Structure 1
Amino acid sequence: MKNRISKIENDVQDRNSPAWKKLCEYVDKVAIENGDEFSPVEELGRELFSQIHTLPETISKLKNVKKIRLYGSNLKRIPPEIGDMESLEDFDPYTSYDLHWFPYEILNCKKLKSSRVSTRALYGNYKHRMGFPRLNHNPVRYFGDTINCSVCKKAITYHETNQLWISLKVGTDILPLLTNLCSKECEDKLPNPSENYVQFPHKGGSDLKQPLDEDELFEIEMKKHEKSEKLNQEK
């Protein structure tokens, strides 16, 4: 298991940059036109889009968008407001290698059936089990002074929130999701984690025991095979 723990970055975006302002204008444009596709790289161009590290909270207005194209982005996070994109069917942030996790609220996109994510970049992925950052030492902060509970939607301060990781299926991938919870009651309402992942919501950290990764399982199978071959030769 690879316990590589990366530090959670907050304040990832320069919100005064021309790139950010153009992105916000593009969100408004798609919302006004009731567009069904959101592809910021085509609107901004590769140079400006490379300066974007999160999406505006105003993506909540994109009620008719069915597909998000974020291929090859430098995004570091997606805001919880993605959960308000009620028509979203196809989510494509492939080769966005700085996207290690996603907001729990993406589960609110009930029509989301297809996803294309670079899974090797994800915390806890079965291929190598990248370590989860410890949330009680390095909590995630979104833009603004309050956050909504991921389960009941109650507005709470960051001092009140309990942040936990949980791995669940989203579209066609199993993603590490960040929850912001206001109470033990809301924590108890979280679904069961996906099979072959940590089987409870957790805070992360280097002491978190994850299932064996792909290479470790292969090594175990090879040792079993070698032992079996040796026994057969001795007969």
Structure 2
Amino acid sequence: MTNTISKIPNNFQNRDSVAWQKLCEYVELIAKNGSDEFVPKEYLGDELFSQIYTLPKSISKLKRVKKIGLYGSNLKRIPPEIGEMESLEYFDPYGSYDLNWLPYEITNCKNLKDSRISTRALYGNYKNRKGFPRLNHNPVKYTSDIINCSICKREMSFIDNSQYWITLGVATDIVPLLVNVCSDSCKKSLPKPPEDYVQHPHRGGSDLKQPDMDEWDYIEKNYKKVTISDEPKEEKKNSPGKLPIIKLIRKIWEK
């Protein structure tokens, strides 16, 4: 597990830039024409897209979008409004190595079935157990002082908000999520994280203990149990000659 914990950046997007204005224009265009794909790099071009570090709240208008393509972006954050993209099926920010977490609201995208995320960059991922920033010292801030509870949607002032990290399955990945809660009851209603991750909502920090597991152990535990053997198919499945393929690969790799 790495002991290096990054600081959460705030106020990083220049909203007066040409890049930001063009991105907002693109969101309005997609909302108007009802397209089912949102791939801002195709509209902005490489240079302007490289200046985008978050997405506008107006993505909430993209009710028909099924695919978000953000490959190779410099994104640091996805806004909670992604949870209002009710048709979203595929989320692809692969190669966005500054995107270390997602908003809890993405769990509201009930049609989201597939994702492609650079998981090594995520806080708490099993591949490196990257440390979680301590939220009570460095909270995630928004452009407005009024925010919504991630659970009950109640409006609250930022000073009344409590922020926590929780790790949950989203589409085909397990990701760290930031949750804003207005009360203990909302906090208690959060789902239980999957095994091998911190089992409760937390505020991060260097003293947070994460489960110990190396990458091979995780793969062996969760990978589909495919076996190989030189024996005829009619032999019993539990024959001592058989070996799960992932274990065989590991034995070869370690040699």
Show the 5 A alignment for 1:1-235. Answer: 1-214=1-214
Deviation of the 1:215 alpha carbon:
5.6
Distance in 2 of aligned mates of 1:182 and 1:213 = 34
Larger Rg: 2
Name the aligned partner's letter for residue 61 of structure 2. Answer: K
- Whole-angstrom distance in 1 between the partners of 2:217 and 2:204: 22
How far apart are the structure 2 equivalents of 1:92 and 1:69? 5
SS in structure 2 opposite 1:159?
A: helix
Aligned residues of 1:92 and 1:117 also touching (Cα < 8 A): yes
TM-score where L is the length of structure 2: 0.84
What whole-Å deviation, never above 9, does each CA across 1:193-226 have from its counterpart, x for those lacking one?
11110000000000000011426969xxxxxxxx
Task: Give the superposition deviation at 1:167.
Answer: 0.2
Identity percentage over the alignment? 66
d(CA) in 2 for partners of 1:93, 1:103: 14
CA distance in 2, matches of 1:101, 1:118: 11
Post-superposition shift, 1:12?
1.6
Gaps of at least 5 residues in structure 2 are 219-255
How many aligned positions are there? 218
Partner SS state of residue 58, structure 2:
helix
Q: Report the secondary structure of 2:22's partner residue.
A: helix
Matches of 1:92 and 1:154, distance apart in 2: 29
Secondary structure of 2:105's aligned partner: helix
Q: In the alignment, what sits opposite 1:228?
A: none
Q: Is the 8 A contact 1:165 1:202 kept in 2?
A: yes
Asked if the contact 1:128/1:213 (under 8 Å) is kept, the reply is: no
Find the residue that maps to 2:134 and give its secondary structure: coil
Deviation at 1:65, TM superposition (A): 0.1
Q: Classify 1:215/1:195 alpha carbon distance in 2 versus 1 (closer, same or farther; 3 Å).
A: closer
Q: Give the whole-Å Cα distance in 2 for the aligned partners of 1:206 and 1:216.
A: 25
Following TM superposition, where does structure 1 have runs of at least 4 consecutive aligned residues deviating by more than 4 angstroms?
A: 215-218
The letter for the 2-side match of 1:127 is K
Question: SS at 2:159's partner residue?
Answer: coil
* Secondary structure of residue in 1 paired with 2:147: strand
Separation in 1 of the partners of 2:183 and 2:96? 33
CA contact (8 A) 2:126 2:215 kept: no
Task: Report the TM-score when normalising by structure 1.
Answer: 0.91
- How far apart, CA to CA, are the structure 1 residues paired with 2:147 and 2:174? 24
Are the structure 2 counterparts of residues 63 and 216 from structure 1 closer, same or farther at C-alpha, using a change threshold of 3 Å?
closer
